[in-house]
Amino acid sequence: MKITRKKIGNYLSLVKFSHTVFAMPFALTGYFTAVYAHGYGFNPLILLLIVLCMVFARNAAMGFNRYLDRDIDKLNPRTSKREIPNKIITPKNAILFVIINSILFITTTAFINMLCLVLSPIALAVILGYSFTKRYTWLCHLVLGLGLSLAPIGAYLAVSAQFHYVAIIYSLIVLFWVAGFDIIYALNDEKFDRQNNLFSIPSYFGEKKARIISAFFHLISGCLLLIIAYFEMFELIATVGVLVFLSLLIIQHIIVIISRNRINAAFFITNGIASIILAIGIILEMIIIYY
């Protein structure tokens, strides 16, 4: 099969490659926390391998999700133009894409350390398993959050080969942050999910309660971030990043309250900016202080 720029673009669109901005900044935060704040030393090869693991794991997860949901996506007007239901990418090629990226992910962890290699199948099971959950439980948002929460702890383990409470708390921040904004995004499909016996917090509890649960999850995420800021003794630059992140959490809820038509803006723009600015603030401060 000839690989062209258009085909590459189709696969990047399939996995929404631009959405890597959600988890990648937290992976980098986990990496630089181990390197600078906890003194493990900078290794550019490990950094590159972490980035590759993030790309391969996310490609596998998103590709599998699109493959598994292809019949559902075909019925949903919002998703019917996606690559598989629109026959731009065949189901066979989509699952092949998933297999290749899964193999590349596990292979890459083998070049990091033994602990990452041993844990890689478990990580893969979590991020691929999420795609089944919407068929069985409204807890699917938390499972998605769990999948993305592996980014900071995985990056920390890649450097240190051991667990640390700071990396675990970063992962919990990601878990509840992602679950919160995924609930907001699921408001788009509240009626469709209910009609097709699919589970989500909006379809199960209704819009009003879903917004409250989303806000509660973001409150937990924000409190955990403040705990990190306190115990890691954040100074000015990192504190600004924290405040911007918390402000954007609030702003996205205000946006959705004002207009449901702006859910996509609340989901993509505010969360993408929030994660990037938070990571820049924390990493830049660590480089200035510890380098």
Residue 3 has pLDDT above 70, yes or no: no
Q: For residues 57 and 119, what is the distance between their CA atoms, to the nearest angstrom?
A: 13
| Structure token digits, residue 74 | 């075909």
Q: For residues 245 and 232, what is the distance between their CA atoms, to the nearest angstrom?
A: 17
Q: For residues 183 and 152, what is the distance between their CA atoms, to the nearest angstrom?
A: 22
Domains contained in the chain, CATH given: 19-290 (1.10.357.140)
| Structure token digits, residue 290 | 């510890």
| Structure token digits, residue 36 | 């600078």
| Structure token digits, residue 7 | 């085909």
Q: How far is CA 37 from the centre of its chain?
A: 24
At 7-35, the pLDDT tens digits run 777 777 777 766 677 889 999 999 999 99
Q: Which residues 6+ apart lie within 8 Å of 204 measured at CB?
A: 138
User: Roughly what angle, to the nearest 10 degrees, separates helices 140-160 and 44-68?
Assistant: 160
Q: Which residues 6+ apart lie within 8 Å of 18 measured at CB?
A: none
Mean of the pLDDT values across residues 274-291? 92
Do 178 and 144 form a contact (C-beta atoms < 8 A)?
Answer: yes
Which pLDDT belongs to residue 261?
75
Q: For residues 123 and 101, what is the distance between their CA atoms, to the nearest angstrom?
A: 13
Q: For residues 246 and 222, what is the distance between their CA atoms, to the nearest angstrom?
A: 6
Q: For residues 49 and 222, what is the distance between their CA atoms, to the nearest angstrom?
A: 30
At 85-114, the pLDDT tens digits run 888 899 999 999 999 999 999 999 999 999
At 126-140, the pLDDT tens digits run 999 999 999 999 999
